Amino acid sequence: GYKGLILDLRSNPGGLLQATVDVADEFLNSGTIIDEVDANGGKKSWSAKSGGLATKIPIVILQDNGSASGSEVLASALRDNGRAQIVGVRSFGKGTVNQLQTLKNCGDPAGCGALYLSVGRWLTPKGDQIEGLGVKPDIELPMTYDEYLDQGDIQMFKAIDLLHGK
């Protein structure tokens, strides 16, 4: 009897890429989840496999400017593959691939520290860069704290209305 699913990714800072890919895969039977492009232009793609648990239920995603990294990957994967609409405001824009590089040979037995180096960027299935730009919602609906207090969660209400229309 469910009409749809609302994924509330507001203020979600993301997580590990493989976990995000695994979640997206439950909602997709096919299609690209994310592309990674390195500094030399090399490209690696993650694609959905058939057999996800929720590939037919309509989805609306809520996001805000605190939605970053893995939540941006998930939102764009579902939207670009025609599985979801996004409501809210543009996301944070954290779409780099980082590697930890240990600093060595400094003469200190305790170690020299480490650096996180950005070694690639994520692109949405439609080829849009996430880093520095974020993911633009399908329905732009900002919400202030005062609006929330006076009117309730207008973004959630919009998501519910969209699902009722399906």
Active site annotation includes 69: yes
Active site annotation includes 38: no
Q: Give the DSSP letter string of 33-99.
A: EEEEEETTS-EEEEE--S--TTSSS-EEEEE-TT--THHHHHHHHHHHTTSEEEEES------EEEE
Active site annotation includes 161: no
Cα 24 from Cα 100, distance rounded (Å): 26
Choose the catalytic residue: 76, 80, 91, 158: 80
Choose the catalytic residue: 8, 35, 94, 158: 94
Of 92, 96, 97, 75, the closest CA to residue 84 belongs to 75
Choose the catalytic residue: 67, 69, 76, 91: 69
Q: Would you name the residues annotated as active-site residues?
A: 69, 80, 94
